[in-house]
Amino acid sequence: MTMGGVPEEMLLPSLPHFAAGSWVMLLLKPEILRSFRPTDDSSDSESCVGSRRGSGWRVKVSSGFVLIPSS
């Protein structure tokens, strides 16, 4: 099973995942989160937007949560 295209084994177990607007909020395992690199194109100055090398995924890190576009 995947959430927002992310394999379930990459997510922390037993934590809620829920939609937040056009983003799917996920809690990734720390070792997975470290594989994301920041990008410069964030329109939200309070968030860090990044992408995982080789995957094409984009993440939005806000208040300790990882948000992956649901589309």
For residue 6, the model assigns a pLDDT of: 63
- CA atoms of 23 and 47, how far apart (whole Å): 13
**Bridge partners, 2 (sequence order):** 7
- Average confidence (pLDDT) per 10 residues, the chain, 71 residues: 59 48 56 58 45 51 53 46
Q: What is the pLDDT of residue 61?
A: 55
Place of tokens 């995924």: 57
Number of compact structural domains in the chain: 1
The domain containing residue 34 runs over which residues? 2-69
Residues of 9-28 as b/e, b for ≥16 C-beta within 10 angstroms? ebbeeeeebeeeeebbbbbb
Rounded CA separation 35/52 (Å): 6
